[in-house]
């Protein structure tokens, strides 16, 4: 049995989990050695009682390894462990990284520079539109959007990123054969088809149970550089994700809402406790300026319109700005692009230090 199979078995054995397995690895060194250990040596490890030790010894009674591997293959999924280059680098740094990740689609190194976007399942039109807009703008700027595929804000976050033709990763609280909620199966399919990823740490056919979602949330926050809460009441699971983000040393952002809206009280509480208030996407991306290095023109760099890193829309908007300041309505009219696209394009140009925004939503070239 190889390391991947041994870790998969440990992931499938009841009542163990990543933290206990880490302690077992400290004692035995290799996953396969844990499975071969006797009861006495297993119980010498802190947190391993008689029941868990017996589950490990009798793992073949609890785990159908062949059936699980067949389910992975049939679904077109892959199994990742920490040794794999595709395993998210940020997850390696958290206290309890998943032993195994089931992946459909592609994970890329750039996903380590992602932002988690979370919020309530029962949300308002304001919350949905705000989540879509901010996710669109982040994805358009090259930042991966990480969320949980749940109803409400999660769904809007994934939809916004896909609309921008950017990257988004969905972390689910069930097996990959049990997409939840069921109505988001088509959204999951689109995420995979467009080159992003749907991932889980749960067995292929695991059903969505309440205890799964806090475990899922630590992956959402753990994969990301920071977590943005768009709309959440005081009992929302999004606040669990927010606390996990803080525990993991990540930045925390929150969007304010109406003072009389119950759906915004969770966000207002986070802001009172120190989360950065977000009015537009610049409030998030300004904390990560290292992602957008300043331009160095000392070596005779090509003019902006000739640069390969400008999209067609960026080149068009940059040309329309010319040398005089221009308002955003004029840019929308002259470019014939939708308003959200123009806003996201201007943000991209700002992050590349090619334009700057003046009061009154007016824009001018830098320099």
CA 254 and chain centroid, separation: 16
Mean pLDDT value across the chain: 91
Element at 17 (helix H, strand E): helix 17-28
Q: At 78, give phi and psi (nearest 5°).
A: -135, 155
- DSSP per residue, 311-334: -HHHHHHHHHHTTS-EEHHHHHHH
Query: What is the rounded CA–CA span in Å between residue 156 and residue 147?
Result: 10
Is domain 304-365 in CATH 1.10.10.10, yes or no? yes
CATH architecture type of domain 102-289: 3-Layer(aba) Sandwich (3.40)
Residue ranges per domain, the chain? 3-63, 102-289, 304-365
**Domains 3-63 and 102-289 are alike in CATH topology:** no
User: What's the CATH code, domain 3-63?
Assistant: 1.10.150.20
As a whole number, mean pLDDT of residues 247-252 equals: 95
When pLDDT is cut at 50, 70 and 90, the band that residue 358 belongs to is confident
When pLDDT is cut at 50, 70 and 90, the band that residue 306 belongs to is low
**For residue 299, what pLDDT is reported?**
47
Higher pLDDT, 360 or 172: 172
- DSSP per residue, 49-71: -HHHHHHHHTHHHH--HHHHHHH
Q: Which residue has the tokens 């005779």?
A: 300
What pTM was estimated for this model as a whole? 0.84
Q: What is the pLDDT of residues 335-351, one digit of tens each?
A: 999 888 888 888 888 87
**For residue 305, what pLDDT is reported?**
54
Question: What's the angle, vertex CA 90, arms to CA 86 and CA 96, rounded to 5?
Answer: 105
Q: What is the pLDDT of residues 4-53, one digit of tens each?
A: 999 999 999 988 999 999 999 999 999 999 999 999 999 999 999 999 99
- DSSP per residue, 196-216: -EEEESS-TT----TTHHHHH
Share of the chain above pLDDT 70, in %: 94
């Amino acid at each position: 049995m190889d390391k991947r199979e041994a870790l998969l078995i440990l992931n499938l054995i009841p009542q163990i989990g990543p933290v206990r397995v880490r302690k077992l690895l400290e004692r035995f060194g290799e996953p396969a050695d844990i499975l071969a250990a006797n009861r006495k040596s297993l119980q010498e490890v802190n947190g391993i009682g008689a029941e868990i030790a017996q589950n490990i010894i009798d793992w073949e009674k609890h785990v159908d390894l062949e059936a699980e591997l067949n389910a992975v293959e049939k679904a077109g999924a892959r199994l990742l462990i920490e040794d794999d280059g595709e395993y998210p680098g940020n997850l390696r740094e958290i206290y309890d990284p998943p032993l195994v990740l089931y992946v459909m689609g592609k994970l890329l190194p750039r996903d380590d520079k992602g932002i988690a976007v979370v919020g309530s399942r029962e949300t308002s039109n304001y919350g949905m539109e705000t989540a879509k807009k901010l996710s669109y703008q982040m994805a358009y700027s090259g930042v991966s959007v990480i969320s949980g595929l749940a109803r409400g804000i999660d769904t809007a976050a994934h939809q916004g990123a896909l609309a921008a033709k950017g990257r988004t990763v969905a972390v689910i609280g069930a097996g990959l054969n049990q997409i939840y909620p069921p109505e988001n199966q088509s959204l999951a399919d689109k995420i995979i088809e467009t080159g992003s990823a749907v991932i889980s740490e749960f067995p292929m056919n695991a059903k969505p149970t309440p205890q799964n979602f806090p475990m899922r949330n630590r992956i959402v926050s753990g994969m990301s550089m920071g977590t943005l809460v768009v709309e959440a009441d005081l009992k929302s699971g999004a606040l669990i994700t927010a606390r996990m983000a803080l525990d993991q040393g990540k930045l925390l952002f929150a969007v304010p809402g109406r003072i009389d809206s119950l759906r915004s009280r969770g966000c207002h509480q986070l802001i009172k406790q120190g989360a950065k208030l977000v009015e537009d996407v610049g409030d998030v991306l300004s904390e990560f300026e290292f992602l957008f290095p300043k331009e160095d023109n000392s070596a005779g760099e090509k003019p902006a319109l000739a640069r390969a890193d400008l999209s067609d829309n960026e080149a068009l908007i940059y040309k329309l700005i010319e040398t005089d300041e221009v308002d955003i309505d004029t840019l929308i009219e002259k470019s014939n692009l939708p308003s959200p696209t123009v806003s996201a394009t201007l943000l991209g140009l700002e992050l590349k230090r090619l334009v700057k925004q003046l009061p009154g939503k007016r824009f001018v070239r830098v320099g």
